[in-house]
Structure 1
Amino acid sequence: MSDRVEPVRSLRIAMVVPPWYELPPPGYGGLEQVCAALIDALVARGHDVTLFGAGARTGTLARFVASMPRPDEERIGQILPEMAHLARVDQMLSADAFDVVHDHTTAGPVFATRRPVPTVATVHNRPTGELADILADADPAVGLVAISHAQRRLRPELPWIDTVHNGLVRGMPTKSRPGTGPVLWLGRYVPDKGPDLAVHACRAAGLPLVLAGKCNETIEQEYLRDVIGPMAGPDVTVLRNIDRATTQRLLLEARCLVMPIRWEEPFGMVMLEAMATGTPVVALNRGAVPELVNPGETGLICDDPVDLATALREVAAIDPAACAEHVRRHFSADRMAEGYERVYHRWARDGRAGQLHPELTPVAHR
C-alpha cells in the first residue's frame, strides 16, 4: 500500500453567519471570531469561500455577500431578523456555485432542506430546550456538527455527524512570565457566567478583580444594575463592552482568567484567548471546561465554588509558555479547518462545476 498522501480537493464553500456582527467582530462575538478564523484558514488551504453576512465589508479573506447593509446587533437573538437574513441568502445560493453550505445560524438547520446545496450546520449554543426542539426537527440531510463532546452529550440522539473543536488564529502576543495584574472575568453579564461568584472568590482570596462583560441586551443591563453593580468596590472594577485591543491588554496583564460558570458551557472561546496569551484559567467543572483546560498545566478546575479562592492563589505557579503551547497544539485555526474539511468532503456532492452565481456581488475586503 502506498504511503502517498492524496491532496485535498479544493471546495467552493458558502459560509453563512448570523446577521448580528461583521467578521471579525470589533468587540464581543465568540461565534464571529471562530468563523473569521475558520474562513481565513480555509482560504489559506486553497478553498474558495464566500461569506454571507451583514454589513458593508469583511476583514476576512472570503468573498463577501451582504444580505443587509448594516449588522443588526440591536435585535441579536430575535428570530425574524435571522429568518429574513436566511431567506435572502437562500435566494442567492446556486447549485452551480457551491459544493457545500456551512451554516452557523440558529434557524438555518430547519430551512436548509430548501437549498440546492448540501448543508453542514455548526451548533454553537447549548442544544437544550427550544433549540433542541428546532434541531430535532432538522432534516437528517442537514449535517449537525458539535463544537465539544460535552455539548454533544447533552442531546446525543440528535443527528450529529462530527465534533470539531473551535480554533484560534496564531500570532497573539504571549507573556513570558506570570501576570501580576488583577484576576480577570470576561463574558456576558448574566447569572450563567457567574460574575457574582467571581467577586466572592476573589474577595475570599484577597485578590483584585476586573469584570469586563458584554452589556447590550435588557437581561444583561438589568443583571449588571441589580446584582453586579452593588458588588463593585475598590477591589472590583466593572467594565462594559470593551474592544478587542482592551481585551488583549487585560489578558496579558491578568493573573488568571476566572470562569465560574453555572451552566453547561458548549465551548468557551475566552478560555482559548486567555491561554493563548499565557494566562491560565481557573474554572468550575462544567460543560466543555475539561476539554479545553489541562489541570495543573494550563489552569485549575474546581468542582465547587468554595474551592475557587484557593485555586486563584495557587494558579500563579503555572507556566505561561505551557498555556500558549497548549492552544497552538490543540486549538489552532488550521486544526479546526482540517476537521471541517473532513466534514465537507463527506457531505458535499462530487463532480459539480460552475461559476459564481451572477446575483452574488462581492464586497471589497478591509
Structure 2
Amino acid sequence: MKIGIVTQSYYPKPGGVTEVVHHTAAELRRSGHDVTIITTRYGPGRRKEPGVIRIGRNVLFPANGAWTNVTAGWRLRHQLEEIFRRERFDIIQTHCPLVPTLPALTLLADRQGARLVGTFHAAAESNFLYALLRPLVEWGAANLDHRIAVSEPCRDFNAKYFPGDYEIIPNGIDTDRFHPGIPPIEGLRDGKLNILFVGRMDRRKGLPHLFRALPLIQRHIPRLVRLILVGEGNMRRRVMPRPISLGGAEITAVGRVDAGLLPRYYASADIFCAPATGRESFGIVLLEAMATGVPIVASDIP
C-alpha cells in the first residue's frame, strides 16, 4: 500500500509529533508499505532524504502556549497536488489536520482518490481560532474519512468543535532505544541528585515552577541537587532563571542532543520532572522516562 504522511513537524526539529511521524513511517515500512513523508524545509542545505519530500519553508507561529511550525511558500496547494498526482497514494495521513498550512491544504487538495486520515494532537480548554473560523474549519474536517486522537483529552477537545467519531490511538515510543540498563552520561553519575527535564522551553512546559522549587528541594536533600535541561526553545532566555537564589542547587543546560544520546540522559537521571501547566494532549517524554525506568514527578493535568 502507498501511504503519504503530511506533517509540519519533522526532523531536524525535535518534538512529539516528529517522533510519532518518524516511527510510524518506520513501522509501516517494516510491514511492507511504501511510505512517503511530506513536510517543510528547515533552512537551506538539507541533503536528499529517501522517503521524504520537502516543500516551502518553516516559520514559527505562537499558538496554544507554544511555538507552532507553519509552512510558508508560494503555491503550496499546487505543489501538494502535484505530489499526490505523481505518487497516487492509497492513504494520506495528515497530522494536526486543521492547522495551517500543509495539513489544512491537504484537506482542500485533489488527493486523486486517496482516503484521508487526520491525526489530532492538540488539547486545550478552548481555541479562539477554531471558534472564530468554525464554519470553515468544520467544512475542512468533514473531508476526513477517519479521525484519530492521541488521547481522551485530545478527543474531547476536538470533538467539542468538530463532533464525530474519533479513534483513540495513543502515541508510542521505540523501546529498542528507551529501556532499562542504558549506560549513563560520563560525569553525571557523580553523587549529585539529578533532576531531568526534556522538552521545548515553551511557556506551557512549566519550567519557571521547577526553578522556584529547586531551593525547596535542595533544603530537604543532603546531596547537591542538579537540574539537567535537555531541549531548546525560543523562550529559553525568558524561562531560564534570572539571578535568583537556587539554594545551592545547580542547573546544567545541554540544549538539543542527538537522538542516540537522549536515552543516556534519562539513564543518568534520578528523577524525571514534567511540570507542564496544561494544553498537553500526550506526553511522549513521560513514556520515554517510564521505558527507561526513571521515577517521574509530573503535573496533575488532564
Q: TM-score, normalised by structure 2?
A: 0.74
Within the alignment, does 1:102 sit opposite 2:88 as a pair? no
Alpha-carbon distance in structure 2 between the residues aligned to 1:73 and 1:110: 16
Match of 1:351 in 2: none
Match of 2:277 in 1: 262
Quick check: 2:95–2:121 contact (8 Å CA) kept in 1? yes
Alpha-carbon distance in structure 2 between the residues aligned to 1:12 and 1:216: 35
Alpha-carbon distance in structure 1 between the residues aligned to 2:77 and 2:285: 28
Distance 1:21 1:36, change over 3 A: closer
Quick check: 1:126–1:151 contact (8 Å CA) kept in 2? yes
Match of 2:19 among 26, 33, 52: 33
Match of 1:141 in 2: 143
Identity %: 19
Match of 1:164 among 162, 169, 180: 169
Superposition deviation, residue 138 in structure 1: 2.3
Q: Mapping of 1:1-366 within 5 angstroms? A: 11-18=1-8, 21-22=10-11, 25=12, 28-53=14-39, 54=41, 55-58=46-49, 63-68=51-56, 72=58, 77=68, 79=70, 81=72, 85=76, 87-94=78-85, 97-105=88-96, 106-107=99-100, 108-109=103-104, 111-116=106-111, 117-126=114-123, 128-130=126-128, 132-133=130-131, 135-142=137-144, 143-157=146-160, 158=162, 159-172=164-177, 174-176=179-181, 181-206=193-218, 208-217=225-234, 220-224=235-239, 228-231=241-244, 233=246, 234-239=248-253, 241-244=255-258, 245-287=260-302
Alpha-carbon distance in structure 1 between the residues aligned to 2:262 and 2:170: 22
Distance 1:74 1:162, change over 3 A: closer
Distance 1:124 1:209, change over 3 A: farther
**How big is each residue's C-alpha offset from its partner over 1:15-48, in whole Å with a ceiling of 9 and x where there is no partner?**
1121x543xx4x6322111110100001111211
| SS of residue in 1 equivalent to 2:92 | strand
Q: Which amino acid aligns with 1:36?
A: H
Superposition deviation, residue 97 in structure 1: 1.4
Distance 1:64 1:154, change over 3 A: closer
Distance 1:229 1:246, change over 3 A: farther
Quick check: 2:59–2:72 contact (8 Å CA) kept in 1? no
Match of 1:362 in 2: none
Distance 1:63 1:80, change over 3 A: closer
Q: Which has the higher helix share?
A: 1
Alpha-carbon distance in structure 2 between the residues aligned to 1:115 and 1:172: 38
Match of 1:327 in 2: none
Q: Aligned-residue CA RMSD in angstroms?
A: 3.2
| SS of residue in 1 equivalent to 2:179 | coil
**How big is each residue's C-alpha offset from its partner over 1:216-272, in whole Å with a ceiling of 9 and x where there is no partner?**
42xx145235xx243475513141532134532221110121112211310011111
Quick check: 1:28–1:241 contact (8 Å CA) kept in 2? no
Distance 1:231 1:144, change over 3 A: farther
**How big is each residue's C-alpha offset from its partner over 1:187-231, in whole Å with a ceiling of 9 and x where there is no partner?**
2223321112223334323352424254442xx145235xx2434
Superposition deviation, residue 110 in structure 1: 5.7
Distance 1:231 1:110, change over 3 A: farther
**Which structure ranks higher in relative contact order (CA pairs < 8 Å, sequence separation ≥ 6)?**
1
| SS of residue in 1 equivalent to 2:279 | coil
Choose 36-45 or 192-201, whichever is displaced more: 192-201
**How big is each residue's C-alpha offset from its partner over 1:86-128, in whole Å with a ceiling of 9 and x where there is no partner?**
5522331128711111112523246513332232121222263
Instruction: Give 5+ residue unaligned stretches, structure 1.
Output: 1-10, 288-366
Aligned length: 264
Q: Which has the higher strand share?
A: 2
Q: Which amino acid aligns with 1:188?
A: R
Q: Which amino acid aligns with 2:249?
A: D
Quick check: 1:199–1:231 contact (8 Å CA) kept in 2? no
Quick check: 1:13–1:100 contact (8 Å CA) kept in 2? yes
Instruction: Give 5+ residue unaligned stretches, structure 2.
Output: 62-66
Alpha-carbon distance in structure 2 between the residues aligned to 1:232 and 1:125: 36
Quick check: 2:91–2:117 contact (8 Å CA) kept in 1? yes
Match of 2:64 in 1: none
